[in-house]
Structure 1
C-alpha cells in the first residue's frame, strides 16, 4: 500500500483525500472502494453497512472482497452500524455530501428536514448522479432476490 505524504492531496469528484468521509448504508462496499482506490489510502474513510458480514456475503458476490481491500487501505469498516453524520465530530466549516435517490420510497426520508434538525443547511443540490465519475462502483439493491 502506498503511504501518502501530508502534502499530497488526491481528489475524485467531490471527495478529497483530506476530507473525513463517512459512507452510510453501503451495499457491496464498491462505492467506498472507489475513493479509497483513487486516494491510495482509506484512513480518512468510515464505511458502514446495516448488514452483518454473513448477510453481506450472502447478498453480494463481491462484498467481502471489497471489504478486504478497504481494510488493507486502512478504512474503518463497520457492520450492522447505525452511524450518522451527527456521530462525526464537527467543526466550523465542515461540509457533508449526501447522495440518494429522490423518488419514492427514498423521498419519504425527508433528507433536507433531517439535515436541518442536525443544524446543517443545503448549500448546493445536483440533479444527476453520474455513475461514470465513480469507477468500480456498481449500484446494488439492498434486499430481495434482485439484491445482487
Structure 2
C-alpha cells in the first residue's frame, strides 16, 4: 500500500519489533479538523513507555471492519467527551464537531477518522478482543511509514495505542 492513504500494516521496530499491526498516521496540522480532534483526545493518554501513550477505550477507540479484501479502521469518540475537551480550542474546531454525524452503531459517538486498504491481514484477537491500533502523530503533510518511524525514533513524534473493537 502506498503511504498516501496513511494506513499501513507493519512493525515499529523501536516500539514492538515482533508485533505486526495496523498503523495510522495522524497529522496534527491537517486541514481535516477531525485529525486535530484525535490529537486533542490523545492528550488523555497515559504514558507507559517514553513517547508511547495508551488511551482508555472510553476516550478514543478503533473499530475494524472487513468487506471482502478491504480492511477498514475507524477512530471513534463520545461526542460529549470531545466537546468538553475542545472548549479551550478554536471555535472552528468546535463547530466542526457539531457537523459530524453520529455513528449508527454507537449512540452519542462520532467517527473522526476512517481509513481502509486492500490486505489479507486479519488483526489477531486475544480473548475476543482485536489487536490495538497504533497511531503515530506528526506535523504537516503526507509522510511514509519509514519517515514516521524515524520521527518517533528521533523523538519528533509520538505513538498512541488505541484499543479496538470488532466491527458491528
Could you state the TM-score of these two structures normalised by the residue count of structure 1?
0.27
**Higher relative contact order, structure no. (Cα contacts within 8 Å, ≥ 6 residues apart):** 2
Q: Normalising by structure 2, report the TM-score.
A: 0.25
Between structures 1 and 2, the one with greater strand share: 2
More helix by share: 1
